[in-house]
Structure 1
Amino acid sequence: MPRHPDLQHPQTIEQGRDPLFPIYLPLKVFDNEEFDCRTPTEWLNMGLEPGSQNRKPVPGKALLPTDDDLGHEDPKNQELDYRWCEVGVLDYDEEKKLYLVQKTDKRGLVRDEMGMPILNGGITPAGRPPLLATQYWVPRIQLLFCAEDPRVFTQRVVQANALRKYTEALLMYNLYVDCMPTEGRRVINEQSLSKIKQWALSTPRMRKGQSVLEHLSCLAREVNLDYERSMNKINFDQIVSSNPETFSYVTLPEKEEEKVPNQGESHWTLAAHLASSPHLRLS
């Protein structure tokens, strides 16, 4: 779905220099289905009247393009404008988790090209006909049923949008840390690394051989890289925390309190890699 920024008043971060990063993840990925008070089948069955076998469209509102021709040809075109339109919900695709909706006409009715009512989702004995110009498959986050509480739906959209913003911020944060140079930084103490290797190789019944040593060398490089990244992460967090105004566009991840086990010792990363490696099977 295209976004239309205000060119006269561009949105900027707090210090007013750099523009905000554009949103790029689809909102439907972060939709919380727990907000739904009915299943898709129950929603569609609301179009059934007592004693009737014909299912009518279920009324609702959907966020759809105003230009139907361009909306089907290029739904991400920057010239498109999206609005909440009165629709009738016709069907549901369980595999794609999309609802089939159709815009109502000027009289608020859902009709086919011949002006006849669309029943049972428009499916005929010959199958489903091609989509009409006013029909769209939309995710649940773009569909508000008239029979649901609009306040709950608003909370659903707000929560999904907040989760998307936080996720994108964390992706950018990890990108910043990954792009930091590692040359010249502190490396893990060789004595500590040797001790880890010794503990890993002293595992009972582990096969010894050249392949084990080669795999151990690869894992050691991975541990070194992870250690260097951790050092960069600590430095980056300190710099951002000490200059919140300068780095207002950076979101630091929430710190989770580590739970210390009552018994036993925590495993080293290298030992865990070795234990799960298919190259180091126990005899």
Structure 2
Amino acid sequence: MPRHHDPDNMPTIKDKKDPLFPIYLPLKIFDDEEYDCRTPEEWISLGLEPGSHDRKPVPGKALLPTDAVLGHEDPKNPKLIYQWIDVGVLDYDKKTKLYLVHKTKNGMVRDEEGRPILNGQVTSRGRAPLLPCQYWVPRVRLLFLAEDPRVFAQRVVSADNLRKKTQALLLYNLYVDSMPTDGLNSISEESLQRMEFWYMAGISKEVRLDYERTMNKISFDRIVASKPEMFSYVTLPDKEEEKVPEKGMEHSEAAGIQHGYGASFL
């Protein structure tokens, strides 16, 4: 979505307002669903009336481009103007987490032939092609008339603040990573060797403990299995069944070849 700035009144660092650099991260990825009082399925089900199988559009307002043609061809075109427009919510896509909305005309949702649109525009032949007045929008750009607009406003502000903070941190790390390293004090070889020593010592200790535990486990399992009456209070873990490979050599054959006497297995 394009952002319009007054070239004669651009913000500065001292203003501490909008970022000096363009916003390039989409707002929808910072949306907090905890603000929602209903699930997407519950919102869509509001279009169902008792005793009827036809689902009607759910009234709301969506942030949409005023130019329908350019809005579909190039949604990020700087010439586009976006406004909050009355819509009817037709459907929801679980994969994309987008809502299908239809701009109202005189408060009604009608197709090109003036007929009411029911069941999300889905018929026995499938979903009809998208009309110029229809858009798939994220939840952060859709206000249902049945929700508290103050909570929705907090939702948008929270997402925008998180987006600004994230972009600022990305820029900060970019600045640090782009700084020259010439002339800086590098870590000494002695320090590197010391860290490698302690790292390898820690790994060796873990391997040794794991080996000793495995050997104790084998001995303990053998003793418990040989005297089940004496160790009736001990439960041995289930043994994992060894899988025989469908292709390739078995372990014994491979081991024999490695030791130079594999000819006897052929």
TM range (shorter): 0.7 to 0.9
Find the aligned partners of 1:174 and 1:96 in 2 and give their Cα distance: 30
Partner of 2:178: 179
Find the aligned partners of 1:201 and 1:159 in 2 and give their Cα distance: 46
Find the aligned partners of 1:204 and 1:176 in 2 and give their Cα distance: 39
Partner of 2:20: 20
Partner of 2:237: none
Matched position secondary structure for 2:168 = helix
Q: Report deviation, 1:181.
A: 1.0
Higher relative contact order (CA 8 A, sep 6+): 1
Find the aligned partners of 1:195 and 1:44 in 2 and give their Cα distance: 62
Find the aligned partners of 1:43 and 1:142 in 2 and give their Cα distance: 15
Q: Identical aligned pairs, as a percentage?
A: 65
Find the aligned partners of 1:21 and 1:177 in 2 and give their Cα distance: 17
Q: Report deviation, 1:15.
A: 7.7
How do residues 195-210 of structure 1 correspond to structure 2 at under 5 angstroms? 195-202=194-201, 203-204=203-204
Q: Report deviation, 1:201.
A: 3.0
| Of 131-140 and 179-188, the range deviating more from structure 2 | 179-188
TM-score (norm. length: structure 2): 0.74
Partner of 1:97: 97
Equivalenced residue count is 204
Q: Report deviation, 1:189.
A: 2.7
Q: Report deviation, 1:7.
A: 2.0
Partner of 1:162: 161
How do residues 239-254 of structure 1 correspond to structure 2 at under 5 angstroms? none
> 5+ residue gaps in structure 2?
208-266
Find the aligned partners of 1:33 and 1:137 in 2 and give their Cα distance: 18
Relative distance call for 1:150 and 1:181 in structure 2 (3 A) is same
Find the aligned partners of 2:195 and 2:9 in 1 and give their Cα distance: 57
> 2:58 is aligned with what amino acid?
V
Q: Report deviation, 1:91.
A: 0.2
Find the aligned partners of 1:146 and 1:43 in 2 and give their Cα distance: 11
Residue 121 (1) aligns with residue 115 (2): no
Relative distance call for 1:204 and 1:128 in structure 2 (3 A) is same
Let me know the Cα RMSD of the aligned residues. Answer: 1.7
TM-score (norm. length: structure 1): 0.69
> 1:25 is aligned with what amino acid?
L
Matched position secondary structure for 1:204 = helix
Partner of 2:8: 8
Matched position secondary structure for 1:164 = helix
Partner of 1:77: 77
Find the aligned partners of 2:173 and 2:91 in 1 and give their Cα distance: 41
How do residues 227-246 of structure 1 correspond to structure 2 at under 5 angstroms? none
